[in-house]
């Protein structure tokens, strides 16, 4: 039984490598803008995937799970670099929320539902879910109280969920 499970994990990791290797590297390079650092982060991402693959509950969410690991690894790197006097302005975060945001990674249904949100809710969803802002960072960015930012994110998620569920009926 354990041998079968190990073989399945190896197969999943090989599949991830074949399917996402180049795409992930380009994604990382686009954010980091340094080849060697991007290669290091890329390798670190695949190490994390190998050690955490057992935590993936739904294989249908594999790609988004891998990208979340990648984004978190990039953020970890940037936080460490920030502490070494690298300016946070070097982050590839757009001046406006929609600038440079690629909706094509989401399904058309969710794209449409996000576009239909109010500007405040859309901004909260995009920054926290896709640009990996913490709610504290969101509150600072929007010049809101922390509890105000938390409420906005929670309400935005609620509205988005309701809109998606209504669409499915």
Given a cut of 60, whether residue 16 has pLDDT beyond it is yes
Highest mean pLDDT among 12-26, 86-100, 129-143: 129-143
Q: Tell me how crowded residue 88 is: count the other CB atoms within 10 A of its CB.
A: 10
At residue 109, the pLDDT reads 65
The 10s digit of each residue's pLDDT in 30-80 is: 888 889 999 999 999 988 888 887 787 777 777 888 888 999 999 888 888
Q: How far is CA 126 from CA 2, 40, 112, 147, 160, in A?
A: 40, 27, 13, 18, 12
Contact 128, 153 (CB under 8 A): yes
Segments of the chain assigned E as strands? none
* Cα 123 from chain centroid (whole Å): 15
At residue 42, the pLDDT reads 92
Q: How far is CA 98 from CA 17, 88, 105, 127, 146, in A?
A: 30, 20, 14, 10, 23
Domain 1-92 annotated CATH 2.40.30.10:
no
- The larger pLDDT score, comparing residue 38 to residue 3, is at 38
Spatial separation of the C-alpha atoms in residues 30 and 37, rounded to whole Å: 12
| CATH dotted code for 94-169 | 1.10.10.10
pLDDT band at 112 (very low <50, low <70, confident <90, very high): confident
At residue 8, the pLDDT reads 53
Residue for token pair 């405040």: 120
Mean pLDDT of the chain: 76
Residue for token pair 């209504």: 166
Given a cut of 80, whether residue 111 has pLDDT beyond it is no
At residue 10, the pLDDT reads 60
At residue 95, the pLDDT reads 39
Spatial separation of the C-alpha atoms in residues 99 and 12, rounded to whole Å: 34
Residue ranges covered by each domain of the chain: 1-92, 94-169
pLDDT band at 113 (very low <50, low <70, confident <90, very high): confident
């Amino acid at each position: 039984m354990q041998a079968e499970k190990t073989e399945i994990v190896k197969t999943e990791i090989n599949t991830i490598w074949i399917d996402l290797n180049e795409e992930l590297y380009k994604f990382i390079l686009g954010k980091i803008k340094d080849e060697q650092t991007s290669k290091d982060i890329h390798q670190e991402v695949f190490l994390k995937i190998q050690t955490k693959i057992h935590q993936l509950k739904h294989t249908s969410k594999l790609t988004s799970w891998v990208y979340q690991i990648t984004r978190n690894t990039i953020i970890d790197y940037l936080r460490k670099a920030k502490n070494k006097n690298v300016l946070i302005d070097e982050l590839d975060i757009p001046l406006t929320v929609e600038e440079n945001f690629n909706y094509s990674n989401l399904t058309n249904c969710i794209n449409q539902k996000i576009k239909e949100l109010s500007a405040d809710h859309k901004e909260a969803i995009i920054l926290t879910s896709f640009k990996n802002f913490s709610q504290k960072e969101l509150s600072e960015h929007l010049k809101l109280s922390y509890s105000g930012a938390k409420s906005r994110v929670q309400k935005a998620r609620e509205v988005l969920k309701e809109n998606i569920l209504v669409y499915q009926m």
